[in-house]
Amino acid sequence: MNDLPKPYLTGHFTPVTDEITAHELTVHGTLPPELNGRYFRNGHNPKPGITPSHWFRGEGMIHGVRLAGGRAEWYRNRWVKTPYLDGVPFTGTELEVSAAATNIIFHGGRYLALQEANLPWEVTAELDTVGVYDFGGKLTSSMTAHPKEDPVTGELHFFSYSPFPPYLTYYVASQEGEIIRSQVIDGSGPSLMHDFAITREHAVFVNSPVVFDHAEHSGIPYRWHDDVPLRIGVMPRTGAPKVTWFEVEQGAILHVTNSYVDTQGRVVLEGPRYDRSAWETSWKWWIGAPGYGVSPDAGSTFHRWVLDPATGKASEESLDDLATVATAELPRRVPAGIHGHWIEDQK
């Protein structure tokens, strides 16, 4: 019996117990008057008295700050009131029973709270829960919590992964929020696929050795398997949907930092990489098992993969030997953090 306190319920991970609304906040220093909008941040925040079996299974709570004209007008925090939250009546499908705790985005005029095993949940600009959102019935599977918005077209690129066929499905939604593309990606497997990347010309997918395993009883049924390689798939965003899979040195990628095409036409992917030891130490933290480290993401190191669709060859390098912690494993991207979103007021 493990009597250790769960690390994701202690220290600065201690859950917030109340929903709060505060107006006209004190500002120390000066806020740029050009900042007019909202910053929302989502995360796992179990209700009092609930100890989830895995860090990723805590109920979702969104924190928000409204900035305008150099003032901090309000702060508020709200649980996303999905069926996963205790006491909410529900008669829908399992796909809708989401903790909605991983991320929040704004697209097509909607604020969407995301968790990758489920459909999105819509909230208002004041963080009140609206309900489950399925893109007008066109999304019939789960949605990744880390979609990518093309800054030129405004399109939203995302995927759904599953432990059962079809393992991977790719979606594109228009700037207005209508799904305009949906296709099954060949060659994928039952891998834990938390994130992906896009370049101007490609979508980049990751199949890691962390795959579906019904023997894992933490509530997140995935484990590391030594006989499964790390593979990175590169697919053109236009034209024939042919995916080139590159097998590289075994490791796991949870989040990606950047992807682009270099001057030689090769696709470059960058991000933190786990070896087996680092992954298992992190997993122990996530489930609160004996032997966990000081950080939820201790041991991953920053890597670069260079993938050549013309030759099918891949190379990789470690960009540093510093074992990263959460600030690097959760890389930041403009204009928002990986689990938060800044939304400008509409002109």
Model confidence over 169-193: pLDDT tens digits? 999 999 999 999 999 999 999 999 9
Please indicate, yes or no, if residue 59 is contained in any of the structural domains.
yes
Binding site for Fe cation, by residue number, is 146, 194, 255
Q: Is 72 a member of any domain?
A: yes
Q: CB within 8 A of 280, min separation 6: which ones?
A: 224
Task: Look at residue 84 and tell me if it is in a domain.
Answer: yes
Ordered DSSP codes for 233-274:
EEEESSSS-PPEEEEESS-B-S---EEEE-TTS-EEEEEEEB
Q: Coil, helix or strand for 281?
A: helix
- Domain containing 293 equals 7-344
| pLDDT value of residue 337 | 47
| Regions of the chain where pLDDT drops below 70 | 1-3, 87, 322-338, 346-347
pLDDT for position 1: 44
Q: Is residue 251 part of a domain?
A: yes
Report the distance separating Cα 260 and Cα 75, nearest Å.
37
1 lies in some domain: no
Which residues are within 8 A (CB) of 6 and not within 5 positions of it... i.e. 6 or more apart? Answer: 51, 55, 288
State the Cα–Cα distance between residues 144 and 161, nearest whole angstrom: 8
8-state DSSP, 333: B
Domain count, the chain: 1
Residues marked as binding? Answer: 146, 194, 255
Are residues 100 and 82 in contact, defined by beta-carbon separation less than 8 angstroms? yes
Output the pLDDT for position 334.
40
Q: Determine, yes or no, domain membership for 120.
A: yes
What is the pLDDT, as a whole number, of residue 241? 76
Indicate whether 2 belongs to any domain: no
Whole-model pTM? 0.94
Q: Which CATH number does the domain housing residue 253 bear?
A: 2.130.10
